[in-house]
């Protein structure tokens, strides 16, 4: 009985459930750290000229930065960036095939693929590129007057003017590196998961540094790309990897109830502001 409890199917399910709970708790802390760091750094990013200072260190004058027209920049734009998405797709397929072939992992493989797709689609696609880069309109360093451009410097975090689309805040290339954290969260386990998570964070940071060195991004463009996409990966893990179908089916009703409650609260606040008692 003891041996079966640890090595049989019931034991594996029990240990797996404990591991899932520990993983969810750790991701909850990561989510909270990202949210708190984003809020605490916002006034620093807006009012302290740290972005200006660092961009000035990398600026050589006349619109030239350290990696402007360098072989590193050419290799990144010409080879590394195009190959990245093909390699990502191939890696996801390889991990999915390996997971699918494991006994009892077919439905888990579907969950893993849905989770990775949701993190990439929501984090990298919708939030990073569609909402922030195309609507917050922050000019890149190379586009500002201080570094050879024509636009006025705009702080991060806040909506700005001076860039029409594909703007500086946040760094899309760095976000693509940070969003890789979804792969170890979905497919790895134990110590290997945390090691691979650290690797993905370093990839995002290094890509962001390259983009800063050629005048394409400021420091906080990279920092917030990491905080936002890692937070999204942490938030989405539980619904995609742990929730049962009953919880998933109940989600629209819960969201509708929350929406109605929020609407009623907003209406009450508006009436109170107009006619305080």
**pLDDT > 70? residue 186:** yes
Cα dist from 268 to 81, 255, 260, whole Å: 51, 20, 12
Q: Are 133 and 216 in contact (CB under 8 A)?
A: no
How confident is the model at residue 137, as a pLDDT? 92
DSSP string, 131-155: IIIHHS-PPPGGGBGGGT-SBPP--
Span 30-47, average pLDDT: 95
Between 82 and 7, where is the model more confident?
82
Span 82-106, average pLDDT: 83
Number of folded domains that form the chain: 1
Q: Which domain holds residue 135?
A: 21-244
pLDDT digits (tens, 9 = 90+) for 220-238: 999 999 999 999 999 999 8
Span 111-118, average pLDDT: 91
pLDDT digits (tens, 9 = 90+) for 207-221: 999 999 999 999 999
Span 239-257, average pLDDT: 69
Span 178-198, average pLDDT: 93
pTM metric for this prediction? 0.79
Q: What's the chain's average pLDDT?
A: 83
Span 69-95, average pLDDT: 84
Cα–Cα dist 133/168, whole Å: 6
Cα–Cα dist 58/66, whole Å: 6
**pLDDT > 50? residue 4:** no
Tokens encoding 9 = 């199917």
Say if residue 170 is preceded by a cis peptide, omega within 30 of 0.
yes
Place of tokens 């708190």: 36
**Does residue 221 lie within any of the structural domains?**
yes
Q: Which residues fall within 8 angstroms of residue 37, CB to CB, at 6 or more apart? A: 227
**pLDDT > 80? residue 256:** no
Place of tokens 């709970």: 21
| pLDDT confidence band for 9 (50 / 70 / 90) | very low
**Does residue 267 lie within any of the structural domains?**
no
How confident is the model at residue 88, as a pLDDT? 84
For the chain, percent of residues with pLDDT exceeding 90? 50
**Does residue 265 lie within any of the structural domains?**
no
Runs of H (alpha helix) within the chain: 2-7, 9-47, 50-58, 71-75, 81-100, 106-118, 134-135, 172-178, 182-187, 190-213, 219-241, 245-274
First to last CA, the chain: 68
**Does residue 5 lie within any of the structural domains?**
no
Span 18-31, average pLDDT: 69
How confident is the model at residue 259, as a pLDDT? 67
**pLDDT > 60? residue 2:** no
**Does residue 139 lie within any of the structural domains?**
yes
How confident is the model at residue 105, as a pLDDT? 73
Span 17-23, average pLDDT: 51
**Does residue 137 lie within any of the structural domains?**
yes
**Does residue 259 lie within any of the structural domains?**
no
Span 83-102, average pLDDT: 85
**Does residue 249 lie within any of the structural domains?**
no
Q: Is 176 helix (H, G, I), strand (E, B) or coil?
A: helix
How confident is the model at residue 246, as a pLDDT? 63
């Amino acid at each position: 009985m003891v041996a079966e409890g640890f090595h049989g199917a019931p034991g594996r399910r029990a240990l797996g459930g404990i591991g899932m709970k520990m993983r969810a708790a750790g991701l909850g802390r990561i989510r909270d750290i990202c949210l708190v760091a984003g809020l605490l750094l916002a006034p620093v990013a807006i009012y302290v000229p740290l972005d200006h200072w660092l961009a000035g260190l990398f600026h050589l004058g006349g619109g030239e930065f350290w990696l402007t027209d360098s072989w590193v920049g050419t290799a990144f734009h010409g080879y590394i960036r195009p190959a990245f998405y093909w390699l990502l797709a191939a890696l996801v397929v390889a991990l999915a095939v390996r997971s699918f072939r494991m006994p009892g992992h077919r439905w888990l493989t579907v969950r893993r693929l849905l989770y990775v797709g949701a993190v990439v689609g929501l984090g990298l696609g919708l939030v990073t590129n569609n909402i922030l880069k195309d609507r917050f309109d922050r000019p890149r360093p190379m586009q500002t007057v201080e570094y050879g451009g024509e636009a006025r410097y705009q702080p991060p975090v806040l909506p700005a003017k001076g860039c029409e689309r594909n703007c500086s805040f946040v760094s899309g290339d760095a976000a693509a590196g940070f969003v890789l954290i979804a792969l170890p969260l979905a497919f790895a386990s134990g110590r290997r998961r945390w090691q691979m998570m650290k690797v993905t964070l370093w990839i995002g940071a290094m890509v962001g540094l390259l983009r800063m060195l050629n005048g394409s991004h400021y420091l906080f463009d990279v920092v917030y790309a990491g905080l936002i996409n890692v937070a999204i990966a942490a938030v989405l893990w539980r619904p995609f990897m742990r929730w049962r179908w009953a919880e998933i089916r109940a989600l629209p009703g819960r969201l509708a109830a929350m929406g109605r409650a929020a609407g009623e609260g907003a209406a009450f606040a508006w009436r109170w502001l107009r006619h305080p008692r």
